[in-house]
Amino acid sequence: MAKSSLIGKAIPRVDAPGKVLGKTEYVMDLKLPGMLEGRILRSPLPHAEILSIDTGRAEKLPGVKAVVTAVDFPDLRYGHLVEDQTILARDRVRYVGERVAAVAAVDLETAEEALDLIRVEYRELTPIFDPLEALKPDAPRIHPEIDRYGVVFASIIKYGNVCSISSVKRGNVDEGFAQADLIFEDTFTTPMVHQSCTEPHAVVAQVEPSGKVVVWTATPAAFKFRDGLAEILGMPTNMVKVIACTVGGSFGAKNDLRLDPICARLAQKSRRIVRMTMDREEEFADGNPRHSSIIQLKTGVMRDGRIVARWARMVFDTGAYTEFGPAVASEATKQISGPYRIPNVEVEALAVYTNKVSCACFRAHGGPEPTFAYESQMDIIAAGLGIDPIELRLKNAVADGDIAPTGEPYRKVSLQANLRRAAAHVNWDSKPQGKNRGLGIAVGQWHTGGRAASAIVKMDEHGKVFISTGCVDVTGSHTSLIQITAEELGVPLADVQIVPIDTDSAPFDASSSGTRSTHNVGGVLRRCAGQIREQVLTLAAEILEARRDDLDIEDGRIFVKGTPERGIPLARASRQAFRASGGPIVASGAYPGGALPTDPQALRGLCFGTAVEFIHPVQVAEVEVDPETGQVTLHRLTAIEDVGKAINPICATGQIEGGVVQGIGYALSEEIVCQNGVILNPCGVPYLQPTARDVPQIDTVLVEDGQGSGPHGAKGIGEAPIIPTAPAIANAIYDAIGVRIKSLPITAEKIVAAIRESAK
């Protein structure tokens, strides 16, 4: 089909009515007969040995139906790449808020009362909160058993408390720096920040009479949850069913099991349905926020602006357990060179244990931290060389045919064009009018994901289309997927629906995270729909006594292209197919995932490629800074987004605006404050997410070059928009008032202090 009526159409999200009307049900809204409430006993200490746990009095409290501790789970360790965590603390607690025991009771009050009755005897151990302190060879070890990883990472033994090391190496940085005209060296820091989803973690678990465990939970990764639960509960995978409920925000926060195995075990032990919900305080104490980082960055450049060498050492504070630390460190080593052509690179990232909450995934994990560093430094270099920041970036920007330091090839790159688009859009050459006003630009690099996805599509006897896929809708992707399918089949949007997802009935999907749903599942659906289309058209050709190639479908009607009045409703053909076979027309398909090739010499330690293709967002911030108060006013944020093709501009723009707003919070206000291991947000110290009042005019420019590998040339877009926002704002602040803040968030206090310092 040359024409395209539904692709690119700004259709309201299919989940909009429920959300707008407040009628959408989340896990925490579930009320099932006889349901118990579960609560968790958490560690009050950042680091301690558990000498004993006495649950006797709690168990005897009327209304208490089950109490679980570590002994109710197999003595196995879990974690992403590094397995160091148990479901409930076994011998030791390593952060304030760590899960020690759990209770299921007839109501919340009884459950809370039971928690008070559990006696845990601790022996306090020296805690470590600073990752640089933790790295010292003689620092007390948070995971004494970590030595077993020493075999894999010989370099770990020179440090204490290393969870993982990743590095990327290309060329020879020593030679590079020797060759450079100028060397810039800066240290940047970024804070621990929280996803702060509207919906907290919640789960309901039920044990069926057959023993099968059914879990209602909100996650983009239902199959990962199912497999994890089956392992933890010691059951075959088909004896656990995960029902993927509406996700009220994830941004990575719901990618991993949290309450689920505890809730399932409580349900098994109590033989009752159990619900568990985390309150806002628990979300902060025991969520899985973005790692804080300390980034040392050294760049060698020639006078003409060409970068010739980059060295970096990044320390990510992963907290008490691995969670997603190694993946974040790995990603950061790939990010820190930016989308720039640098011949000599040697960069290293460490995930380091401290006695704080474990950090994990947050939108574009391992992206915004290094980008803040390298894009801030790009402007420092531009200023140092007296080159325009865009000019400097254009000079180094990768293009088709270039190879990243990881060995990954660049193809169909639009970075240079996007930089020029940005310049044109904001009228870069005539800087903003007004005192203390500034413009700042930053680019980013992200990858569209490459993990497995699949779908089964049925067209029924009425011509209605039902899609079964494991792909959870966390970002509006279902609306785009429906558009893609309806377009391919030539049916109205209302004739296509995606059925609710559970792991028994849906086909596999790795996760609706990693910027991949529309790219991966959209492609699968387009192929499935194409197969169904062929069957329907073949049948219609018989009915219409026409050649199949002469037929087309539009708005649910099949017709002869030359004589459009000769036609039949599509439903008649699907009905005919049904009568002949006795069932619907079914097509299934899958996407295997994959990654670009990497250079095995370049990637070291726990470092791995994940890109299927690269995308390059560009953002420009326009700010005004009050030098007296340090107050930053954002006037405009322009986001040039490399979307390939916006299947649905509403969804695409919504994702981008959301990312930019999260980026603004990251830049200016958000920070989890931890004092002696105790997280003070959100109850003591407010957690300053941007509100509507803090959001400036956002100009979203969808760059539709149709060059993506997804359906209709689409690229993944979900994570990228958060990446360049903070450095764009930092650069704009510098442009406005000439002070450079290298530590996020850029608070008024830091600006005032910097102004005072620079005035000295």
What residue ranges bind a second copy (CB under 8 A)? Answer: 14, 17-18, 21, 23-24, 29, 31-33, 208-211, 236-238, 452-456, 458, 460-462, 464, 466, 468, 494-495, 497, 499-500, 502, 504-505, 507-508, 524, 578-584, 586, 588-593
What is the smallest separation between the CB atom of 206 and a second copy, expressed in angstroms? 10
- Which of 172/588 has CB closer to a second copy? 588
- Which of 343/569 has CB closer to a second copy? 569
- Which of 18/686 has CB closer to a second copy? 18
Phi-psi region of 755 (alpha: psi -120 to 50; beta: other; left: phi over 0): alpha
Q: Is the dihedral of CA 720, 613, 373, 697 positive or negative?
A: negative
- Which of 416/576 has CB closer to a second copy? 576
- The rounded distance, in Å, linking the Cα atoms of 238 and 227 is 9
CB atoms under 10 Å from CB of 504, counted, come to 12
- The rounded distance, in Å, linking the Cα atoms of 146 and 166 is 17
Which H or E element spans position 320?
none
What is the smallest separation between the CB atom of 502 and a second copy, expressed in angstroms? 8
What is the smallest separation between the CB atom of 236 and a second copy, expressed in angstroms? 7
What is the smallest separation between the CB atom of 487 and a second copy, expressed in angstroms? 18
Helix axes 477-489, 649-668, angle to 10 degrees: 160
- Which of 574/731 has CB closer to a second copy? 574
- Which of 81/586 has CB closer to a second copy? 586
Report the DSSP beta bridge partners of residue 512.
none
- Contact assessment for residue 256 and residue 360, using Cβ atoms and an 8 Å cutoff: yes
- Contact assessment for residue 711 and residue 429, using Cβ atoms and an 8 Å cutoff: no
- The rounded distance, in Å, linking the Cα atoms of 595 and 610 is 5
- Contact assessment for residue 295 and residue 190, using Cβ atoms and an 8 Å cutoff: yes
What is the smallest separation between the CB atom of 455 and a second copy, expressed in angstroms? 8
- Which of 381/456 has CB closer to a second copy? 456
State the first-to-last Cα distance of the chain, in angstroms, to the nearest integer.
68
Residue located via tokens 């440090």? 159
- The rounded distance, in Å, linking the Cα atoms of 63 and 108 is 10
- The rounded distance, in Å, linking the Cα atoms of 344 and 333 is 14
- Which of 256/502 has CB closer to a second copy? 502
- Contact assessment for residue 484 and residue 526, using Cβ atoms and an 8 Å cutoff: yes
What is the smallest separation between the CB atom of 22 and a second copy, expressed in angstroms? 9
User: Residue 580, SS3?
Assistant: helix
- Which of 29/185 has CB closer to a second copy? 29
Q: What is the DSSP letter of 750?
A: H
Q: Is the dihedral of CA 281, 285, 288, 292 positive or negative?
A: positive
What is the smallest separation between the CB atom of 456 and a second copy, expressed in angstroms? 6
- Which of 23/158 has CB closer to a second copy? 23
- The rounded distance, in Å, linking the Cα atoms of 363 and 473 is 15
Count of alpha carbons within 13 angstroms of residue 481, beta-carbon side: 36
Q: Diameter of the chain by CA atoms?
A: 89
- Which of 455/632 has CB closer to a second copy? 455
What are the counts of helices (DSSP H) followed by strands (DSSP E) for the chain? 18, 32
What is the smallest separation between the CB atom of 621 and a second copy, expressed in angstroms? 37
What is the smallest separation between the CB atom of 247 and a second copy, expressed in angstroms? 16
What is the smallest separation between the CB atom of 463 and a second copy, expressed in angstroms? 9
What is the smallest separation between the CB atom of 454 and a second copy, expressed in angstroms? 3
